[in-house]
Structure 1
Amino acid sequence: MDLTRFLTYAGSVARTSTLLQAGFTDRSVRNAVAVGDIRRLRHGVVALPGAPADMTAAVMGNGLLTCASAAVHRRLWLLREPSKVHLLCRHRGPADAVVHRGSLIPPDSPKPVASTTDVLIHSLRCLPAMEAAVMVESAARQGITTLGYLRGRLPGKRNGAARRVLELVDGTADSPIEVVARILFRAAGIFTETQVELPGIGIVDFLLEGFLIVELDGATHLEPRQVKKDRARNNASTLTGYAVLRYGYADVVHHPERIMAEVWQVLRGRVIR
């Protein structure tokens, strides 16, 4: 593997010490810089032209991307993009970054990205409960980790809040907004079933109190074939005696209070509380 290919594999930016450990020489690095194949960002750091900003920030900050900043690289769901880069640093990190300490599992590649275990543990300790639950649900859904594994790595009183976030995860969601909606419904004391198969209707996202179907629509639900299918499902649901509410990403993430108001409006018509 030549130098530029290795740098691509390493995230397009790396410390020269990483290149030397991979078997490249100081001379080969200097030659690549001289001909313009790579750029020297500072002493000890080189990058390919157009190296991603987050990867560059990690290497320049002497750290690894972690928590919300590593979600996309670990193929985890992310509810919101972080306003600052999150880095795992052994020593003092950049002043403009959210710095995390402590690593349980080393990364499995030269990319400046923390291991999935570290990413999830840091998110559980750092992010709002809803956002951390979304990331953990994604990992659990893919079989990357288990709740028991994570719980065992969060001992003691100081990790109590992080362990409570794990109680919000059940691995049944097909999307980030399903995690958010499930948490909202259950936190309100509503009897909530997920991914329920109903005769003549099919599998619905949520069944609340046994009669209110709540469906969450992604981009595919705007396609003509899916619109026709959804219309037929709505009609079948109503004819079978169910009530139906449908919401999209923006509704769930930006207007949860409106969703809850509408859900309760329907429920209070048939549930005595």
Structure 2
Amino acid sequence: MREEGVTDRDLARAVTAGTLLHPRRNAYLPMGVPVDTVDAVSIGGLLTCTSELRRAGVFVMERADLDVHLPEHASRVPGISRPVRRHWGRLVRRPHPCATSVEPLDAVACAVRCQSPRAAIASIDSALQRGYVHRDDLRELFGALAGRYTALLPLVDGRAESGPETLVRLILRALGLRYEVQVRITGVGRVDFLVDGWLIIECDSEEFHADWEAQRRDRRRDQAAAARGFAVYRPIAEDIMWGPEEVVAAIRGLFSGTAGGALSRRVA
């Protein structure tokens, strides 16, 4: 700001007027910046890991209250009135001097280290789907991680439109089932998964399916699918994330019965 002719007095006036925040010496932020960002800057760090992914709209399943990356030379870090998970270490990509977050690749790498393997894959898929990182970044991303994480790379897909979709894909893969992703079915529309040619799996999440109108649309789609000989299973996000054994049992149960009978089905 000073390079643009802004004086200390101008900055003080802006802070007093409520158009600028002054969380730390020589640090100014516009009003409306997320609280996580303000808190990270206030202790001399950058938003990172699951906190940065959450800010960017990327799916995270296992998160801290606040993740902050601190300079390697930081010795005394001021405390704030909330839990902070502090991260040190060299970054792969140097942030801009005025940045309030680490670069996307570093945030994703950090989130991979701090989550379980399935949650990490879901975060990478989400980051790819949202364009937060790109496929060309994957080699550099996994190069920045310890060798044990290399096993996750073949499991990354990037087509899932939600974290729960990735988690269900991993379940189907582990069960050895034949499945297609984002399939368009005549008279029904696009579905999340078509398994073995007869079972439609739609991954509900509270975020997108909380209102009754959305539920009505979903049920009419299910009705149209049933009329065409398909079975439909809608696990809720809570079970997908925190009770996957229940989802596995449900899918196994469907395949142990006669639901995959010889009705004629048409897939566009």
TM-score band, normalised by shorter chain: 0.7 to 0.9
Spell out, residue by residue over 1:164-210, the C-alpha distance to the aligned partner (whole angstroms, 9 max, x if none).
Answer: 33322212111121112112221233323211222333222112233
Q: Distance in 2 between matches of 1:31 and 1:225?
A: 48
The answer as to 2:172 corresponding to 1:185 is yes
- In structure 2, runs of 5+ residues without a counterpart are 261-268
The RMSD of aligned alpha carbons is 3.2
TM-score normalized by the length of structure 2: 0.76
Identity level (%): 29
1:12 is aligned to none
- Kindly tell me: are residues 147 and 167 of structure 1, through their superposed partners in 2, closer, same or farther at Cα, counting changes over 3 Å? farther
Select 1:163's aligned residue among 150, 157, 162.
150
Which amino acid in structure 2 is aligned with residue 78 of structure 1? Answer: V
Q: How far apart are 1:62 and its partner, in Å?
A: 1.9
- Aligned counterpart, 1:251: 239
**Quick check: 1:217–1:246 contact (8 Å CA) kept in 2?**
yes
Are 1:231 and 2:219 an aligned pair?
yes
Distance 1:235 1:261 in 2: 24
1:199 to 186, 198, 212: 186
Q: 1:56 and 2:38 equivalent?
A: yes
Aligned position for 2:89 = 101
Residue 51 of structure 2 corresponds to residue 69 of structure 1: yes
Cα separation, partners in 2 of 1:77 and 1:41, compared to 1, 3 Å: closer
Whether contact under 8 Å (1:218, 1:249) holds in the other structure is: yes
| Distance (whole Å) between structure 1 residues aligned to residue 138 and residue 70 of structure 2 | 18
Q: Once the two structures are superposed, what CA deviation does each residue of 1:24-66 show, in whole Å capped at 9, x if it has no partner? A: 3334345556777666556545567886432233223322111
Residues 88 and 114 in structure 1, CA contact (< 8 A), matched pair in contact too: no
Q: Quick one: which of 50, 71, 80 aligns to 1:89? A: 71
Q: Which runs of 5+ in 1 are unaligned?
A: 1-18
Q: Are 2:198 and 1:211 equivalent residues in the alignment?
A: yes
Find the aligned partners of 2:54 and 2:120 in 1 and give their Cα distance.
Answer: 14
Give the one of 220, 229, 233 matched to 1:241.
229
Q: Which residue pairs with 1:7 in the alignment?
A: none
1:40 and 1:194 map into 2 onto residues whose CA distance is 48
Give the Cα–Cα distance (whole angstroms) in 2 for the partners of residues 150 and 197 of structure 1: 29
Q: Distance in 2 between matches of 1:168 and 1:111?
A: 32
Partners of 1:39 and 1:49 within 8 A in 2: yes
Post-superposition Cα deviations, 1:94-144, rounded to whole Å, max 9, x if no partner, equal 484230422233335834111112212222233222232222212211334
Matched letter for residue 164 of structure 2: I
